[in-house]
């Protein structure tokens, strides 16, 4: 099951550039709750709901609303990757009830922030929601028979050790993993796997937290967190 989270952004309307912005509220519901508006009736309440875990090359659907509802408001969907500047990736127009829908296509792995902004100018809320873009990777797991041994990265392997083995990623590299609704970020602690076609060996604890089987496909994003 895909996990969704909502962010609420208070956006200053026309003629209110000098008014302080409302604090943005982050929720973990699929419906979304708007942040309290700052003083003055000219402020709009905007909610936006992206999908948190996305496979590279897929479209990430984004929906939300602008209150008070009015047909024809222009909404910009913007993303920012790993501290870069905001980039507009989609446009939407509100319906009579203030709701809008859009999508953007993910091309690069990593962490993104997603927001919706009403109009092309003027201040926007500071609420940001994280989205991770992954690739599909073949994985297996290991542990029994190796506990107590030192890994290639100098760590003692135990049943409680969180991490993955990878052939080339530097030791300590953080790797975000996602499998059927379960997500975890772990470091590279060892070398392997050496079976053809497999990219990662998961430790027993990593396997447990992902509810992973013996072998299969996981979504992975090196350097993400």
**pLDDT value of residue 147:** 98
Q: Given strand 59-67, what is the order of strands in its sheet?
A: 26-27, 6-11, 44-49, 59-67, 99-105
Residue ranges per domain, the chain?
6-127, 134-222
Q: How many Cβ atoms sit within 10 Å of the Cβ of residue 87?
A: 12
Q: CATH number for 134-222: choose from 1.20.910.10, 2.40.50.180, 2.70.150.10, 2.40.40.10.
A: 2.40.40.10
User: Position of tokens 């222009």?
Assistant: 74
Closest CA to 21 of 176, 156, 126: 126
pTM: 0.76
Predicted confidence at residue 167, as pLDDT, reads 97
- What is the architecture, at CATH level 2, of domain 6-127? Sandwich (2.60)
Q: Please choose, from the candidates 224, 111, 107, 218, the residue with its C-alpha nearest in 3D space to the C-alpha of residue 169.
A: 224
Look at residue 195 in the predicted model and tell me its pLDDT: 93
The predicted structure's pLDDT at residue 82: 78
DSSP 207: H
DSSP state of 39: S
Please list the ranges in the chain whose pLDDT falls under 70. Answer: 1-43, 120-128, 225
Model pLDDT, residue 125: 41
Residue 43 is predicted with a pLDDT of 67
3-state percent breakdown (helix, strand, coil) of the chain, nearest 5: 5, 45, 50
């Amino acid at each position: 099951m895909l996990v969704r989270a909502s962010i609420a952004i208070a956006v200053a309307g026309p003629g209110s550039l000098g008014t302080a912005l409302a604090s943005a509220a982050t929720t973990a519901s699929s419906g979304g709750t708007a942040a309290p508006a700052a003083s003055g009736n000219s402020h709009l309440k905007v909610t936006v709901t992206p999908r948190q875990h996305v496979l590279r090359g897929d479209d990430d659907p984004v929906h939300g609303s602008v209150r008070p509802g009015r047909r024809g408001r222009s909404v910009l969907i913007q993303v920012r990757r790993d501290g870069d500047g905001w980039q507009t990736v989609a446009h939407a127009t509100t319906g009579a009830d203030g709701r809008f829908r859009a999508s953007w296509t993910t091309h690069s792995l990593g962490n993104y922030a997603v927001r919706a902004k009403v109009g092309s100018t003027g201040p926007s809320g500071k609420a940001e929601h994280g989205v991770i873009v992954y690739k599909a990777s073949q994985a297996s797991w290991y542990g029994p028979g190796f506990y107590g041994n030192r890994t290639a990265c100098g760590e003692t392997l135990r049943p409680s050790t969180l991490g993955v083995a990878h052939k080339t990623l530097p030791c300590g590299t953080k790797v975000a993993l996602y499998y059927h609704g379960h997500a975890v970020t772990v470091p590279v602690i060892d070398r392997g796997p050496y079976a053809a076609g497999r990219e990662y060996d998961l430790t027993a604890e990593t396997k447990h937290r992902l509810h992973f089987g013996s072998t299969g496909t996981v979504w992975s994003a090196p350097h993400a967190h």
